[in-house]
Chains A and B, each alone.
Chain A
Amino acid sequence: MQIPTSLTHVGILWSMIAAGALLLGLVHFARWLLERRARADLAFSLVAFSFAGVALAEVGGMHARDAAEWGAWVRWFHLPLFGLFLGTAIFVRLFLGTGRRWLLWTLIALRSVILLVNFGAQPNVNFSAIDSIEQIPFLGATVTVVGESTPGPWQFLGLISSLLLVVYVLDAAIARFRTGDADQRRGAVLIGGTVFLMVVIATAFTQLVIYGVTRLPFLITPAFLPPLMAMSFELGYDMLRASRLARELHDNRLRLELAAGSANLGLWEWDGRRERILATRQARQIFGVSEEESGEFRRWFEKVHPDDAERLNREISRALESGEEYAADFRISPDGASTRWISVRGRAERNLPGKAALVRGVLRDISDQRRAQDETQELRRELAHAGRASLLGQLSSSLAHEISQPLGAIQRNAEAAGMLLDSGRLDQEELKAIVADILRDDRRAREVIDRLRTMLKRRETEVAPISADNLMQDVMALVVADAASRGVQLEHRPSPGLPPVLGDRVQLTQVLLNVVLNAMDAVMEQPPAKRQVVLWSRTGADARVELCVSDQGPGIAAGDAGKIFRPFYTTKSAGMGLGLAISRTIAEAHGGLLVGENEPGGGATFRLCLPTQGVGCG
């Protein structure tokens, strides 16, 4: 066997096809080297290299000068043919993801046997004897073909292996076609179809040559070109699809950033493995972090207000440990001078136990919201304060009474003491009694003033547990004089066992005071015997405590039930109609509610329902 020294143009054509296949094989082999997951590319490169080998062996045969040389070329031809079978079968399994494993192994085993027999036999597996060769014209050139010959006893094995390959590929393609999407179906048709057709044609043709029916060279190369192209096309299409997906991903990311940016949301992501922060432009702007610095967590965290830093750190650490969602509001100083309120919420994700890999989050500047909230709260406080001032205005005469009583007594006692001293009689017992009375009255007056001052002070809301009975005692102290002067029987029935409610003592007193004064107004229309107002409390729904004020008045008029809590709605000649509206606002700010209902037996009961400590305050 000799490498031909001069090629016919058929030889040149075959060599060019082989070179093209080699190049394709190299490209896909290189891709596999870069991305080891692309194993179909490796299988394809085996197919392409083997294909080139087959083409070269065919060229060798076509240029053989005697029967022995031709037989040797056929013998070596089986080596790349083995690769072609193997590569194709493996490619089908890797690319289509289908194909029966046992068929694959049987095919490999059979082709291995053929290879062994081939190299053990003379001149090769296909022939037991090659007696002559012939020169025939082929595609305008003169090529060598086999002349007189005898087929080998094992050559039917090649036929069986071709059948096996066809069955295996068809089965794999049909399975893929049944379950795949549009792209996968096309791949199944293209690869399955070309492999099936070409293997059938090439095998039939080769058998005709072996049995001497036709006098032509082996033509596996042109036959296998369509399947090779189909595989190459599918792989290339796959790569195109991957790059299209990558582009879509990028587009989606840009769209998301645009949407988030226009909603003034900043997105950030902390990669625990690389210890880097990835953030959108909006997030960087919110924090006042430059793009160059934005990778470092420290650059972000140093902007957080020192008072909030620990809380924020704790919250994110908790999310890191548990892999859960987190949310926090905190202050930052983007430029070192101004303060902004930021809300962050997101999720930590762990892919290794105990080690957080990723924290994602959405940032939002909530300074304006925060300011509006503060202003609303301030307004509510002001309104509540105005409401208290107005309530105490209603009580002014009885309060004046309460203060002027001890003051008057103090004055008389002091005058009496003066007269006693002037008279020269040092009645020590009497003087002691006078001083004791003065001190007692002074305390009385001070208590009234303290109560007033507490109610009139502008103050921050202070939420603390307080018992319903204590609240009612506060209210009783304020109105008892007024009730007496109006002839109203005011009664407080204590319920010592109730859990304390949560709230601001002054504001809750204000609500009760408002309700009690309304109740007293209501009973004034009744004959003196029915002028009764009772303060009592009980456990209500949802473990709340209900502070109730019941009166024996005419009740809430049918048309008024929906209106009494509206601002500026009043049934009284004096009064702005703000009392109950403010009271309800206070009740709701405490996570409670204030309702008024008529009693079946006459009169009305107003209930202030408040959360207890265990329930929490909204």
Chain B
Amino acid sequence: MLFHRYVAVIDDDESLCRSLARLLRQAGYQAITFPSAEAFLEDPLRTHFGCLLVDVQLGGMTGIEMHAKLLAEGIQTPAVFITAFDDPRARAQAESQGCAGYFKKTDAGFDILEMVRRLTVAPAAG
């Protein structure tokens, strides 16, 4: 399942997008970055990802709203939320929607990678 190697990174902070993508590439994934939820939803290949790494607080639509929308479209791609605010209400909302994981931006990247590995078919390194 080749497409499982594709991971979408959706964050309005360019630097954060780039660093996460870089880390994923080092771990052997193909990381595609999107600056907003709207940009991702418009992408025709949006169903073709093994996993989504989504910022909760985005410029327009929030990550959680985007996830709800995907679920409504019947897209079950596992979503991992990464937030700068540890807002319990947002977290509760995300978990009730059945998110795959919930991280803070300052959490170790390796933990996020570990989560991505579990959610996707383990790829061969390199």
Looking across the interface, which residue of chain A has its beta carbon closest to that of B14? A409
A528 to chain B, nearest CB (A): 10
For A400, list chain B residues within 8 Å (CB): 84-85
Question: Is residue A412 contacting chain B, with contact meaning CB distance below 8 A?
Answer: yes
Pick the contact of A411: B27, B84, B106 (CB < 8 A): B106
A423-B108 contact, Cβ under 8 Å, with A412-B20, A413-B19, A416-B23: no
Q: Is the Cβ of A412 less than 8 Å from the Cβ of B84?
A: no
For A419, list chain B residues within 8 Å (CB): 23, 26-27
A255 to chain B, nearest CB (A): 75
A423-B26 contact, Cβ under 8 Å, with A400-B84, A405-B84: yes
Number of A interface residues, CB 8 Å?
A: 27
Question: Which residues of B in the span 31-50 have a Cβ within 8 Å of any Cβ on A?
Answer: none
Q: How far is the CA of A195 from the CA of B19 in the complex (A)?
A: 124
Q: Is the Cβ of B85 less than 8 Å from the Cβ of A401?
A: yes
A425 to chain B, nearest CB (A): 9
Looking across the interface, which residue of chain A has its beta carbon closest to that of B55? A405
Q: How far is the CA of A411 from the CA of B108 in the complex (A)?
A: 7
Q: How far is the CA of A323 from the CA of B86 in the complex (A)?
A: 72
For A484, list chain B residues within 8 Å (CB): 59
Question: Is residue A189 contacting chain B, with contact meaning CB distance below 8 A?
Answer: no
Looking across the interface, which residue of chain A has its beta carbon closest to that of B22? A416
Q: How far is the CA of A401 from the CA of B27 in the complex (A)?
A: 27
Question: Is residue B73 contacting chain A, with contact meaning CB distance below 8 A?
Answer: no
Q: How far is the CA of A203 from the CA of B47 in the complex (A)?
A: 148
Question: Is residue B15 contacting chain A, with contact meaning CB distance below 8 A?
Answer: yes
Q: Is the Cβ of B23 less than 8 Å from the Cβ of A408?
A: no
A397-B22 contact, Cβ under 8 Å, with A405-B15, A437-B15, A440-B15: no
Question: Is residue A461 contacting chain B, with contact meaning CB distance below 8 A?
Answer: no
B59 to chain A, nearest CB (A): 6
Q: Is the Cβ of B23 less than 8 Å from the Cβ of A404?
A: no
Q: Is the Cβ of A401 less than 8 Å from the Cβ of B57?
A: yes
Mask of B51-67 contacts with A, CB within 8 angstroms, 1/0:
00000010100000000
Question: Which residues of A in the span 450-504 have a Cβ within 8 Å of any Cβ on B?
Answer: 484-485
For B109, list chain A residues within 8 Å (CB): 411-412, 415-416
Q: How far is the CA of A423 from the CA of B23 in the complex (A)?
A: 13
Q: How far is the CA of A419 from the CA of B25 in the complex (A)?
A: 10
A404-B106 contact, Cβ under 8 Å, with A416-B26, A423-B26: yes
B121 to chain A, nearest CB (A): 20
Q: How far is the CA of A485 from the CA of B13 in the complex (A)?
A: 13
Question: Is residue A517 contacting chain B, with contact meaning CB distance below 8 A?
Answer: no
Q: Is the Cβ of B85 less than 8 Å from the Cβ of A409?
A: no
Question: Is residue A420 contacting chain B, with contact meaning CB distance below 8 A?
Answer: yes
Q: Is the Cβ of A412 less than 8 Å from the Cβ of B23?
A: yes
For B74, list chain A residues within 8 Å (CB): none
Q: How far is the CA of A402 from the CA of B20 in the complex (A)?
A: 17
B22 to chain A, nearest CB (A): 4
For B126, list chain A residues within 8 Å (CB): 423
Q: Is the Cβ of A415 less than 8 Å from the Cβ of B110?
A: yes
Q: How far is the CA of A513 from the CA of B51 in the complex (A)?
A: 41
Question: Is residue A235 contacting chain B, with contact meaning CB distance below 8 A?
Answer: no
**Supplied contacts A408-B104, A416-B25, 16 more A-B pairs, CB within 8 Å:** A401-B84, A402-B84, A404-B105, A405-B16, A406-B15, A407-B105, A408-B82, A408-B106, A410-B19, A412-B23, A413-B19, A416-B22, A416-B26, A416-B109, A437-B15, A440-B15
Residues of B participating in the A interface, judged by any CB pair closer than 8 Å: 13, 15-16, 18-20, 22-23, 25-27, 57, 59, 82, 84-85, 87, 104-110, 126
7 nearest CB pairs, A to B: A408-B105, A412-B19, A401-B84, A419-B26, A415-B109, A409-B19, A404-B84
